[in-house]
């Protein structure tokens, strides 16, 4: 069925309107949770002073970042408008909703940062009053606010597109998803560089060289470190999960309308709507019981929410989907219900698996902590081993789920890919809880920092914050695992949408011969050299992207190290508290360096698929996407779990094991954690939006590649010209980046400050 021929009846319009109302209800609940957080006490005057400094730094960074990204949005808007579409209304809608998707992604990131910086001091105040349960509730309700915004805006945007564009909704939603993914990638990259530059610099100079605690106010990088937690973990992760939400809906609507027509266009909206309702219930259910660990409380809320979502989603599939698909001889309702349940089970299993490899109570992380007794080299080696091993299990789990979903498809490729997309929608029924769990981490971490810098919390109150921080480390790690699984399912579904786009483009080809179609489909086979070359290139881009980000953190962290050393050297009164560090200077360095490093990774993500597609054809681009997805999932899990194990190994030693703070073992795990910081909080998380951005770019340009490659409109000179220009820009951008040394000396730093 041609999706453009689909028109909504009164019943379908009513369903979409109900979905939009549920989205608005989720937003209303988000505002309610926000009001509950802000109604609590903000703490002592000293806490408020420190919290205000963190908030101002985070706001200043995001405002400067948005001004920088506005340039990319304008350029992408114009290029998107230039791409061919069935009619002018679709072209305009795709570009307008691209901007809306970008604005929603930026808005959710800003909301996450803004509320988190207000909640930090409130959690610290609850701990000062020895109210652990209140502190946990404040941190979790802060995440619940961002989770409701993620669900509400994603669902509202998709519902409006379906309502206004009906059969053409999937094509317009390509723009919406692309806008969300592009902004999320930049926020992940910029925020990740900022937070880890400050964190690495603070740890190396403060904890290792000066021997002072992690959040000691004498360290000039402490405020920047806390700012970084908010712009990286809160703003970046919220934007990342929002774009996963939007992109998965895009793929599900494209494939659903192709496989099931009207039913496939409407049903993908119903599952996230049900997820919004179960997420609200999950946030309310997450209440501590006497003597119960905060992690147990949070996990219970997640699993109950997931179980309820699975049940209501299965019932919805049986009610709203047809019981027979004659051309395949199967029952779509039962199979789609099974796919949604598989997605939810996958989320729960990944939660457990990631927790096993990175949790403070688990064997792998405790083994990493024990290796600190033999020095930093063994800490690093053991953490790398954990990352490699966990990547295999996680990737195999996701691959197994995808294969089961394909088998459920009963031989229909498009329907099987629709099932993959619906599994992604099922996984994302838990997204409200996932965002809440993730935001819990940086809020509790910053609360501990504010408490230590203010000096107003000690004894049992400090121990409460230490417990919440340890729980937050684990929740951040496990939600990264779920985010990776979400990214892979979304990318796989988009990969299927790319195949569907090629099919449509071949069908629309005027004057093309049958041989043209045969050659196109042969180029998609893995043993065709064009596809194999694409696979190699796709995997290579993942490595290049990761390397660029880790180099960027190295450069920025080097600048912070020298700045903090300079302040200790030139202001000796800092150590006895008679002089105050220049916190603003470090925040400014982190801001400048992180924004300067944004361009090259963005250029690589957008232009590499264009270079491969126009230069080597749709088959090579298909291979490129497959290589990027396969390599990306392994690399993302490796980086995230290695970093998570090093981080919690440090926590284990700091809790008094293997010599405790100040011992040689402590110095070893601090170095391991320093290596892991750009792994788990910069390069690893940024791979999630990367693979989705590249798949969306491929989806958008597929018709143009086919048109310029075959039939009467074929123009090899034009497509090779586009490829050459894209390659030239990539090479030039990488060359400029590589001119910046990763080793910064005092003279280099002075020169950098003048730039």
Question: Is 600 a member of any domain?
Answer: yes
Question: Is 6 a member of any domain?
Answer: no
Report the domain count for the chain.
1
pLDDT for 227-274, tens place per residue? 877 777 777 777 777 877 788 887 888 888 878 877 888 888 888 888
Residue 164, number of CB atoms within 10 A of its CB: 14
Residue-level pLDDT at 86: 67
Residue-level pLDDT at 524: 61
Mean pLDDT of 131-154: 86
Residue-level pLDDT at 755: 34
Q: SS in 3 state form for 372-408?
A: HHHCHHHHHHHHHHHHHHHHHHHHHHHHHHHHHHHHH
Question: Is 4 a member of any domain?
Answer: no
Closest CA to 204 of 447, 592, 553, 648: 553
Is the per-residue pLDDT at 555 higher than 70? yes
Residue-level pLDDT at 751: 39
Mean pLDDT of 714-733: 90
Residue-level pLDDT at 639: 93
CA–CA separation, 468 and 449 (whole Å): 12
pLDDT for 605-632, tens place per residue? 889 999 999 999 888 998 999 999 999 9
Mean pLDDT of 284-292: 74
Question: Is 11 a member of any domain?
Answer: no
Mean pLDDT of 72-88: 79
Pairwise pLDDT comparison (715 vs 535), residue with the higher score? 535
Mean pLDDT of 562-585: 83
CB contact at 8 A, 309 and 429? yes
Residue-level pLDDT at 525: 66
Is the per-residue pLDDT at 749 higher than 60? no
CA–CA separation, 275 and 269 (whole Å): 10
Residue whose pair of structure tokens reads 């949604």 in the numeric block? 340
Question: Is 122 a member of any domain?
Answer: yes
Band of pLDDT at residue 521, cut at 50, 70 and 90: low
Band of pLDDT at residue 537, cut at 50, 70 and 90: very high
Is the per-residue pLDDT at 318 higher than 90? no
Band of pLDDT at residue 396, cut at 50, 70 and 90: very high
In the beta sheet, which residues pair with residue 330?
A: 325
Residue-level pLDDT at 511: 47
Domain membership of residue 142 as a residue range: 25-286+296-753
Closest CA to 242 of 423, 74, 438, 388: 438
Question: Is 2 a member of any domain?
Answer: no
Mean pLDDT of 496-509: 72
Mean pLDDT of 109-126: 85
Pairwise pLDDT comparison (288 vs 435), residue with the higher score? 435
CB contact at 8 A, 135 and 23? no
281: left (phi over 0), alpha (psi -120 to 50) or beta: alpha
CA–CA separation, 106 and 261 (whole Å): 33
CA–CA separation, 389 and 378 (whole Å): 16
* Range name among 108-122, 225-239, 408-422, 537-551 with the lowest pLDDT average: 225-239
List, in sequence order, every beta strand (DSSP E) within 198-294: none
Closest CA to 683 of 478, 558, 543: 543
Is the per-residue pLDDT at 727 higher than 90? yes
Q: SS in 3 state form for 599-646?
A: HHHHHHHHHHHHHHHHHHCHHHHHHHHHHHHHHHHHHHHHHHHHHHHH
CA–CA separation, 702 and 498 (whole Å): 7
Band of pLDDT at residue 724, cut at 50, 70 and 90: very high
Is the per-residue pLDDT at 69 higher than 90? no
In the beta sheet, which residues pair with residue 325?
A: 330
CB contact at 8 A, 640 and 483? no
Percent of the chain with pLDDT over 70: 92
- What is the average pLDDT score of the chain? 82
Residue-level pLDDT at 371: 93
Residue-level pLDDT at 18: 92
pLDDT for 152-179, tens place per residue? 888 898 888 888 887 777 778 888 888 8
CA–CA separation, 48 and 86 (whole Å): 55
CB contact at 8 A, 480 and 680? yes
Q: How far is CA 535 from CA 515, 542, 586, 632, 697, in A?
A: 25, 11, 41, 12, 17
Is the per-residue pLDDT at 748 higher than 90? no
Mean pLDDT of 288-302: 77
Band of pLDDT at residue 327, cut at 50, 70 and 90: low
Percent of the chain with pLDDT over 90: 13
Mean pLDDT of 274-289: 82
Mean pLDDT of 703-725: 84
Mean pLDDT of 579-605: 83
Closest CA to 495 of 406, 566, 579: 406
Pairwise pLDDT comparison (660 vs 400), residue with the higher score? 400
Mean pLDDT of 560-584: 83
Is the per-residue pLDDT at 744 higher than 90? no
Mean pLDDT of 118-140: 87
Question: Is 729 a member of any domain?
Answer: yes
Mean pLDDT of 23-39: 91
Token duo for residue 216: 């000691």
Mean pLDDT of 23-40: 91
Is the per-residue pLDDT at 330 higher than 80? no
pLDDT for 175-228, tens place per residue? 888 888 888 888 888 888 888 888 877 777 777 777 777 677 788 888 787 787
Residue-level pLDDT at 750: 40
Closest CA to 681 of 208, 55, 199, 68: 199
Residue-level pLDDT at 740: 67
Residue-level pLDDT at 752: 39
Residue-level pLDDT at 326: 60
Band of pLDDT at residue 522, cut at 50, 70 and 90: low
CA–CA separation, 419 and 404 (whole Å): 10
CA–CA separation, 74 and 91 (whole Å): 15
Q: Which of 3-17, 96-110, 124-138, 382-396 has the highest mean pLDDT?
A: 382-396
Q: How far is CA 189 from CA 167, 186, 211, 420, 526, in A?
A: 35, 5, 30, 28, 32
Band of pLDDT at residue 70, cut at 50, 70 and 90: confident
Band of pLDDT at residue 518, cut at 50, 70 and 90: low
Residue-level pLDDT at 388: 94
């Amino acid at each position: 069925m041609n999706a453009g021929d689909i028109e909504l009846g009164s019943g379908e319009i009513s369903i979409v309107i109900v979905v939009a109302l549920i989205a608005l209800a989720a937003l209303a609940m988000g505002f309610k949770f926000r009001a509950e957080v802000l109604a609590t006490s903000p703490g002592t005057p000293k806490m408020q002073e420190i919290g205000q400094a963190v908030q101002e730094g985070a706001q200043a960074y995001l405002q400067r970042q948005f001004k920088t990204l506005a340039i990319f949005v304008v350029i992408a808007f114009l290029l998107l408008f230039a791409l061919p579409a069935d009619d002018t209304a679709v072209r305009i809608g795709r570009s307008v909703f691209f901007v809306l998707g970008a604005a929603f992604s930026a808005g959710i990131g800003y909301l996450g940062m803004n509320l988190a910086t207000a909640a930090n001091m409130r959690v610290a105040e609850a701990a000062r009053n020895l109210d652990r349960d209140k502190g946990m509730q404040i941190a979790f309700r802060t995440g619940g606010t961002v989770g409701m915004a993620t669900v509400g805006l994603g669902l509202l945007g998709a519902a409006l597109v379906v309502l206004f564009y009906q059969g053409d909704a999937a094509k317009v939603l390509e723009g919406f998803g692309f806008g969300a993914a592009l902004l999320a990638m930049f926020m992940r990259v910029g925020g990740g560089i900022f937070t880890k530059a400050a964190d690495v610099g603070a740890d190396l100079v403060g904890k290792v060289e000066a021997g002072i605690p992690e959040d000691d106010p004498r360290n000039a990088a402490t405020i920047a470190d806390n700012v970084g937690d908010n712009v990286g973990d809160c703003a970046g992760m919220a934007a990342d999960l929002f774009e996963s939400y939007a992109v998965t809906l895009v793929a599900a609507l494209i494939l659903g309308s192709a496989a099931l027509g009207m039913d496939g266009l409407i049903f993908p909206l119903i599952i996230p709507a049900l997820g919004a309702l179960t997420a609200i219930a999950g946030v309310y259910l997450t209440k501590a019981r006497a003597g119960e660990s905060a992690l147990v409380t949070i996990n219970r809320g997640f699993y109950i929410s997931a179980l309820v979502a699975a049940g209501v989603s299965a019932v919805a599939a049986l009610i709203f989907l047809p019981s027979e698909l004659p051309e395949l001889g199967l029952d779509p309702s039962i199979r789609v219900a099974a796919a949604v349940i598989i997605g939810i089970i996958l989320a729960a299993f990944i939660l457990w698996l990631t927790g096993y490899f990175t949790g403070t109570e688990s064997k792998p992380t405790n083994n990493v902590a024990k290796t600190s007794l033999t020095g930093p080299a063994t800490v690093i080696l053991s953490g790398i081993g954990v990352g490699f091993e966990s990547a295999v299990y996680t990737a195999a789990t996701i691959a197994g789920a995808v294969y089961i979903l394909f088998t459920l498809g009963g031989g229909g490729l498009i329907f099987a890919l629709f099932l993959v997309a619906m599994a992604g929608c099922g996984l994302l029924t838990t997204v409200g809880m996932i965002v809440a769990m993730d935001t819990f981490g940086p809020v509790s971490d910053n609360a501990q920092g504010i408490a230590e810098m203010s000096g107003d919390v000690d004894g049992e109150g400090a121990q409460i914050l230490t417990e919440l921080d340890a729980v937050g480390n684990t929740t951040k790690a496990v939600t990264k695992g779920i985010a990776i699984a979400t990214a892979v399912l979304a990318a796989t579904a988009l990969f299927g949408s790319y195949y569907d786009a090629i099919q449509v483009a071949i069908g629309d080809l005027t004057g093309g011969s049958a041989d043209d179609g045969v050659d196109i489909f042969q180029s998609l086979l893995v043993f065709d050299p064009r596809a194999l070359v694409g696979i190699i290139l796709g995997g290579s881009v993942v490595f290049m992207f990761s390397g660029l980000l880790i180099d960027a953190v190295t450069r920025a962290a080097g600048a912070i190290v020298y700045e903090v050393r300079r302040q200790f050297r030139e202001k000796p009164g800092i150590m006895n508290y008679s002089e105050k560090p220049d916190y603003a200077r470090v925040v400014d360095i982190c801001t400048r360096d992180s924004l300067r490093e944004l361009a090259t990774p963005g250029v690589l993500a957008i232009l590499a698929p264009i270079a491969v597609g126009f230069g080597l054809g749709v088959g090579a681009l298909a291979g490129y996407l497959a290589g990027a997805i396969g390599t990306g999932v392994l690399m993302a899990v490796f980086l995230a779990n290695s970093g998570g194990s090093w981080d919690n190994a440090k926590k284990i030693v700091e809790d008094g094991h293997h010599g405790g703070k100040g011992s040689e073992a402590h110095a070893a795990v601090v170095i391991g954690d320093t290596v892991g910081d750009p792994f788990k909080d910069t390069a690893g998380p940024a791979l999630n939006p990367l693979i989705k951005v590249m798949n969306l770019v491929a989806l958008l340009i597929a018709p143009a590649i086919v048109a310029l490659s075959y039939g009467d409109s074929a123009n090899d000179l034009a497509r090779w010209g586009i490829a050459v220009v894209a390659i030239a820009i990539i090479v030039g951008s990488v060359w400029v980046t590589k001119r910046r040394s990763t080793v910064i000396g005092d003279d280099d730093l002075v020169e950098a400050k003048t730039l």
